Amino acid sequence: MDKPIIAQKQPYKVELKAGEKHNFCACGKSKNQPFCDGSHKGSGITPKSFTVEKDGTYYLCGCKHSKNQPFCDGTHKSL
């Protein structure tokens, strides 16, 4: 399996609505960061589908190395 590409070394601040399904880009290749656009095909890395329980502002991982994907856990600070 390929390693993910670091899309950016900071989180993506996004507004999400409760119950809506999203596909988080885990490979770093998407042109629609932080969401999947299908660019992962052939990489061995698949997007992470998720929903949130509350409407609000969320910080999604930009470095693609978070242990809590799709959410940022600060790993980018050590890369």
Do residues 57 and 15 lie in contact, with contact meaning Cβ atoms separated by under 8 Å? yes
Q: For the chain, where are the E strands, in sequence order? A: 12-16, 22-24, 48-50, 56-60
The whole-number pLDDT of residue 2 equals: 81
pLDDT band at 1 (very low <50, low <70, confident <90, very high): low
Tokens of 33: 């960061």
pTM of the model: 0.93
pLDDT tens-digit profile of 9-56? Answer: 999 999 999 999 999 999 999 999 999 999 999 899 999 999 999 999
Distances from the Cα of 26 to the Cα of 31, 41, 72, angstroms: 12, 12, 12
Quick check: 61 pLDDT over 90?
yes
